[in-house]
Structure 1
Amino acid sequence: MGPSLILYAVPFFLITVILEAVLVTREQKDFIDKTDSFTSIALGIGNLLTGLITKGFIWGVYVLLYEKFRIFTLDMSVWWVWVLAFFADDFSYYWFHREAHLIRYFWASHKVHHSSQKYNLATALRQTWTGNLTGSYIFYLWMPLVGFHPIIIVTMQQVSLLYQYWIHTETINKMWKPFEFLFNTPSHHRVHHGSDVKYLDCNYAGILIIWDRMFGTFVKEQERPRYGLTNNLNTHNPVKIAFSEWVDIIRDLGKAGSLKNAFMYIFAPPGWSPDGSTKTAKEMQKELDFMEKNR
């Protein structure tokens, strides 16, 4: 398989989590909760352990597509191929991340990352145990088909994850405007982690915020977001957090009453219900817009 950049970065993650905690404690801010941080670290460790198995399978899929079905051959020794791969990976990540919020099947894994009511470097480590198993890699399958070598693909995926680590913090405010215009920043990503209705389902960027600007999903940070989920899990048990949405899906399927409802419970946006008893993000935002217009 490709180089394991994430494993090499683990000591850096742990050191910077501790340094941030010390800084925040000295400034007497409420950005960090010790128990919450330990939960995030536990979920990160679980992600690494499950990845030992699942990433081998994904690597095999990429290799199969590249060796048997690729249309072109992009020479990985040429510098501009890596530049193309950077944009291809970031574009793929944007669409994966967007659909992970709009399709409940993918949200069941991604929800884990949003389950903390704090926003700090430890939150970046709060990762899914089921995402690889449930097919997040399908958004990247076009890359080996057009000729990107699997080593390039997995390297760029890890570069993206490494970049996104530092933007999980409240210790950095707004940055240089040209940088904020092009790149994902702590300010942009704080909005993405907000559970405020106006902040739901936006700023899906990995490294480049330009995709959100291009496809109409960019929202600027105004007041400090309220972090977490619209219905928080209220637990620090990493196992419950890792599987909570899958349990809820199974429970909803048991009361679906029809194949159509069963399909919608799995593939409709999170919050969908046949009787409207629970709301999707778009439905909540429409209600908010209506109330604001009729004040």
Structure 2
Amino acid sequence: MLQDFIHAVHALLGPNVDWKQVVLTGMAPIFLLAFAIEYQVLRRRAHRPLPRWRDVATNLGLGASYQVAEFIVHALVSGAIILWIYQHRLFDVPVNAWTIVPIFVAVEFCYYWFHRASHRIRWFWSAHVVHHSEEQMNFTTALRQSMLYSITGWWLFFMPLVWLGVPPGVVFFLYACDLAYQYFVHTEAIGKLPRWFEYVFDTPSNHRAHHGRNPKYIDKNYGGVLIIFDRWFGTYVEEDEPVDYGIPRQIRSNNIWTLNVHEFVQMWRDVLRPGPLWQRLKHLWGPPEWSRPAEVAATPSLQS
């Protein structure tokens, strides 16, 4: 049924549909309604700070600019590359009631490694840092995304599935479902859920810890829908102390352009500083906190 629906949309819109952005755009009214409900819940809880409207407006602006950038890059560059890879696939993976869940788990596995790389490789962190730069947590924080994601290459992490033979429309439709779920874990309005659920799935509690700049929370809980890969690969942490949201080297700005490019520009400034070539290039692929051995003062950690 899913594949039939995707085929129908392709017949209507052509082969180069950006499924991720189509689904997320279609979910926008639900996202905004959920935030309105969350706001009313938080307003009734005096111990919880209310979302700052200026930050909410910034998040909405970042979400809109991200959508536009993703559509453009997909139409001009990444969509054609993805179709080319699929044309050279190894197999034809069937999509049916028996395979849809394993395919979704495979998409989640790819997302785990994309998300982990986005914290541990500065090239990818230069886009992902935007998402972590808010010092509050509410549903609109999920919309706080970067225009640079497609440029830095998030989609490359899902190409193994396309190359194996999973139709791109299926991969990115399921990834959109993964991202839509994640919208609802960006909140302080929901406490801890039953222990079995917290063990298997990403939850508001697990994801609050992910957004913390507390030392124990940094670089933990990368899962989107599932948290089991974090448990298997040693990146899980339980939320057991108040979360301090944001990034260690906090940028305090509501300028959408500044938020999008500040780390990307600083990364290239570090690359262009004089020094051995291998050290200069390591600013691209090293972890965000890496600094050159010759520098006396250690660079504070950038990731969260």
- Length-normalised TM-score, structure 1: 0.91
1:115 alignment partner in structure 2: 133
Asked whether 1:59 is paired with 2:79, we answer yes
Displacement of 1:255 after TM fit? 2.0
Give the RMSD, CA atoms, in angstroms. 1.7
Question: Residue by residue, what CA displacement relative to the aligned partner does 1:10-66 show, whole Å, maximum 9, x if unpaired?
Answer: 111122222222332232321411111111111000011111112233332222111
2:249 alignment partner in structure 1: 231
1:145 alignment partner in structure 2: 163
Asked whether 1:34 is paired with 2:53, we answer yes
Report the AA paired with residue 272 of structure 1.
W
Contact 1:24–1:31 (8 Å) recurs in 2: yes
Asked whether 1:278 is paired with 2:302, we answer no
State the distance in 1 between where 2:282 and 2:50 align: 37
Question: Residue by residue, what CA displacement relative to the aligned partner does 1:117-139 show, whole Å, maximum 9, x if unpaired?
Answer: 00110100001101111111111
Report the AA paired with residue 8 of structure 1.
G
Question: Residue by residue, what CA displacement relative to the aligned partner does 1:236-265 show, whole Å, maximum 9, x if unpaired?
Answer: 111100101011112212324221221111
Q: Secondary structure at the match of 2:238?
A: coil
Question: Residue by residue, what CA displacement relative to the aligned partner does 1:182-233 show, whole Å, maximum 9, x if unpaired?
Answer: 0000000000000111110010001110000000000011112100001110
Contact 1:82–1:152 (8 Å) recurs in 2: no
Contact 2:206–2:239 (8 Å) recurs in 1: yes
Report the AA paired with residue 84 of structure 2.
L
Which of these residues, 259, 264, 274, is aligned with residue 241 of structure 1?
259
1:201 alignment partner in structure 2: 219
State the distance in 1 between where 2:285 and 2:90 align: 31
Report the AA paired with residue 65 of structure 1.
I
Report the AA paired with residue 114 of structure 2.
F
Unpaired runs of at least 5, structure 1: 285-295
State the distance in 2 between where 1:54 and 1:192 align: 28
2:69 alignment partner in structure 1: 50
Question: Residue by residue, what CA displacement relative to the aligned partner does 1:152-211 show, whole Å, maximum 9, x if unpaired?
Answer: 111011011001000000010100111111000000000000011111001000111000
Which of these residues, 23, 32, 39, is aligned with residue 5 of structure 1?
23
Displacement of 1:280 after TM fit? 4.2
Q: Secondary structure at the match of 1:214?
A: helix
State the distance in 1 between where 2:267 and 2:18 align: 34
State the distance in 2 between where 1:245 and 1:186 align: 27
Unpaired runs of at least 5, structure 2: 1-16
2:144 alignment partner in structure 1: 126
- Length-normalised TM-score, structure 2: 0.88
Asked whether 1:136 is paired with 2:154, we answer yes
Count of aligned residue pairs for this structure pair? 281
State the distance in 1 between where 2:161 and 2:79 align: 13
Report the AA paired with residue 145 of structure 2.
Q
Contact 1:273–1:279 (8 Å) recurs in 2: no
